[in-house]
């Protein structure tokens, strides 16, 4: 069973999502807080993981980041990683006010861009007792340089500067597609990104929109969550990687994981970045994540 929830951030933005009640538990239960990756929204497969965790006796809070989906916030479709990090921390504060929640047993889960966020949150916030980071962004600048053709990089930097000047004049920030057919400008220029989002949008009712602020991409290039990973211990950390991932590449994630201290566990899945949400990789990963949370919460 799930029901709708909403809570306030420290700066007064309302975030909305779902609360899954722990099955078979009377009284306060451990709780996992979940949010999705770059421009995505709660309905894009997060419920599949939440149901696995709930069935194992954990509450789950799933919410949309500010500026996306059913949550408030402006500018719309703007990804500010530090505002999203603070959103996780606000979600923890909210969870600890609920009678169904054991305030001393809070875990966090993130995937892709939010997989990077939970590394930062777990390093900074000792209310977090366990963390799962799935196919995470680790180093933003290096990731961007791998994704963006070298002959396009100078032009993109000039576009960032022009957008900053336009916003300073009070003009709306520039927008660009999140994903597009091969060869067309977009934020995430991989074929599997285009296939994943467009197929999901065609087959499901979703609040996802194929646009993002150009400023979001500039902030992506400046975001380095892996620099926090050694500070997570002694909070238990699970990192889930996909062996064929070229959006958040395996080698970068493995390098970040090597810097983490114990207790930690690495789970390697077959396939690419987006296959982590469905099919055989999900069948491998979701039970492992459930057991990690169950053990440490």
For 233-264, write each residue's pLDDT tens digit: 999 999 999 999 999 999 999 999 999 999 99
Residue 216 has φ and ψ, to the nearest 5°, of -60, -40
The residue ranges of the chain whose pLDDT is under 70 are none
Per-residue pLDDT of 138-174, as tens digits, reads 999 999 999 988 888 999 999 999 999 999 999 999 9
* pLDDT for the residue 106: 98
Contacts of residue 101, Cβ cutoff 8 Å, sequence gap at least 6: 28, 29, 31, 59, 95
What H or E segment, with its residue span, contains residue 95? helix 81-95
* pLDDT for the residue 115: 98
Say which DSSP state 171 is in: P
Per-residue pLDDT of 174-190, as tens digits, reads 999 999 999 899 999 99
Structure tokens at 203: 């087959």
pTM, full prediction: 0.97
Domain range summary for the chain, segments of one domain joined by +: 2-140+224-296
* pLDDT for the residue 4: 98
Domain 2-140+224-296: assigned CATH number: 3.40.50.1820
* pLDDT for the residue 183: 86
Task: Give every strand in the sheet of 59-63, ordered side by side.
Answer: 2-8, 14-20, 59-63, 29-35, 101-111, 128-134, 237-242, 264-269
* pLDDT for the residue 151: 87
* pLDDT for the residue 68: 98
Q: Length of the chain, please?
A: 297
Structure tokens at 141: 């600048």
* pLDDT for the residue 1: 82
């Amino acid at each position: 069973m799930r029901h709708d929830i909403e809570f306030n951030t420290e700066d007064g933005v309302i975030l909305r999502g779902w609360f899954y009640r722990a099955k078979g538990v009377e009284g306060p239960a451990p709780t996992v807080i979940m949010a999705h990756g770059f421009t995505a929204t709660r309905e894009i497969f997060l419920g599949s993981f939440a149901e696995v965790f709930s069935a194992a006796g954990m509450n789950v809070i799933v919410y949309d980041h500010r500026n996306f989906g059913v949550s408030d916030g402006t500018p719309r479709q703007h990804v500010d990683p530090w505002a999203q990090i603070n959103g996780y921390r606000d979600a923890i504060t909210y969870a600890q006010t609920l009678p169904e929640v054991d305030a001393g047993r809070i875990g966090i889960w993130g995937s892709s861009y939010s997989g990077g966020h939970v590394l930062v949150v777990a390093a900074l916030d000792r209310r977090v007792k366990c963390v799962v980071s799935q196919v995470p962004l680790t180093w933003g600048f290096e990731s961007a340089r791998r994704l963006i053709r070298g002959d396009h990089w100078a032009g993109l930097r000039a576009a960032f500067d022009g957008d900053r000047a336009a916003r300073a004049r009070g003009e709306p920030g520039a927008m660009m597609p999140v994903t597009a057919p091969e060869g067309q400008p977009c934020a995430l220029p991989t074929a599997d990104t285009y296939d994943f989002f467009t197929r999901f949008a065609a087959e499901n009712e979703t609040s996802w929109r194929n646009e993002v602020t150009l400023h979001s991409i500039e902030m992506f290039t400046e975001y380095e969550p892996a620099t926090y990973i050694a500070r997570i211990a002694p909070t238990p950390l699970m990192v889930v990687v996909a062996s064929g991932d070229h959006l958040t590449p395996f080698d970068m994630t493995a390098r970040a994981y090597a810097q983490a201290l114990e207790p930690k566990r690495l789970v390697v899945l077959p396939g690419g970045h987006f296959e982590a949400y469905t099919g055989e990789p999900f069948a491998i990963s979701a039970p492992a994540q459930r057991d990690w949370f169950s053990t440490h919460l």
